[in-house]
Copies of this chain bind each other. A is one copy, B any other.
Amino acid sequence: MKLTVRGEYALRALVVLGLSYSADAVLRIQAISEQQNIPKRFLEQILNDLKSAGVVTSRRGVTGGYRLARPPHEVTLATVIRHMDGALAPVSCVSERFYEKCSCPDEAKCGIRSVMKEVREAVVKILENVTLAQLCERVKLLQGVQANILDYAI
């Protein structure tokens, strides 16, 4: 599994949306783009893609913007990454959803394949069990730690 810049931007944007999640408040692309150093035009494309995945919804027009389509605890990182970057498996011949035949003489007898399956399992286990809500919690915690250090300094 390789997380591309595209996938990373998607996660970063979703964290921002997750942190300010509420019934019907929306965030503008520009706001997210500025806060996260993401090229606006590129982010536009990415959020649109997340929309087609049913992860976010949008409102158009001058008061428009994006918000999560569902509460953060219902979105797993696995879902997001699979949609943006494809397979979680290190090679497609061990992928469940993005399977492709490989060139080895016989997949059933392939030792490499069995190791790669283990790797895939390990990755999937982590990413399917971390939700956007948990990711946001981590962020709050990390930023909280920093804030406390500052408090002491003052």
Of the listed stretches A23-31, A44-52, A62-70, A122-130, chain B binds A122-130
A sample of 22 cross-chain residue pairs with beta-carbon separation below 8 angstroms, ordered by A number, consists of A1-B1, A1-B2, A2-B2, A3-B90, A5-B103, A8-B104, A11-B112, A12-B104, A35-B105, A36-B105, A37-B103, A37-B105, A77-B115, A108-B142, A108-B146, A111-B136, A111-B139, A114-B142, A115-B130, A122-B122, A122-B125, A123-B123
- Bound CA span A35–B109, Å: 14
- If over half of A's interface residues share one DSSP class (helix, strand or loop), that class is named, otherwise mixed; here it is helix
Chain B: minimal CB distance from A12 (Å): 6
Give A1-18 as 1s and 0s: 1 = Cβ < 8 Å from B's Cβ atoms: 111010010011001000
- B91 and A111: CB pair below 8 A? no
- B135 and A112: CB pair below 8 A? yes
